[in-house]
Amino acid sequence: MTVRLPIAVRYAETDAMGVVHHSSYVVWLEAARVEWLEQIGLPYTQIEVQGLAFAVIELGLTYRNPARFGDRVEVETWLSEASSRTLRYQYRVWRSETLLAEGFTRHLCQDARGKAVRIPPNISDALVAHLRPSS
């Protein structure tokens, strides 16, 4: 399953050159990932209530075209890999039909103490049901 989250670029997200600062994309990816979980019926708060978190352990982004203040962009998100302890999400950021950026995040399931743990079956089943391998 793929989700597209619309975002209106705010002035505070731009740099001195008038383009969206690279760090703003990381915030957008998180917002899209949280929305993806909402859309599959697994709100992140439901994961946290179980004493779990999916820590970001790897992030990669390739910037293709700049976004600017006032642009309307969409962050396309999908879960591309799932193992017993880790998840990998893929992303594409679009302005209309123009690809602005693409990348991934990898996450490790951790308990409240920060120890790596297996993803419980109730969460894993919900995630894997919506898995979309990379294209």
N-term to C-term CA, the chain: 13
Residues marked active site are found at 15
Residue 30 CA, distance from chain mean position: 5
Q: Say how many C-beta atoms besides its own lie within 10 A of residue 123's C-beta.
A: 20
d(CA 43, CA 54): 13
Strands (E), the chain: 2-8, 52-63, 72-82, 86-95, 98-111
d(CA 66, CA 128): 33
d(CA 93, CA 70): 15
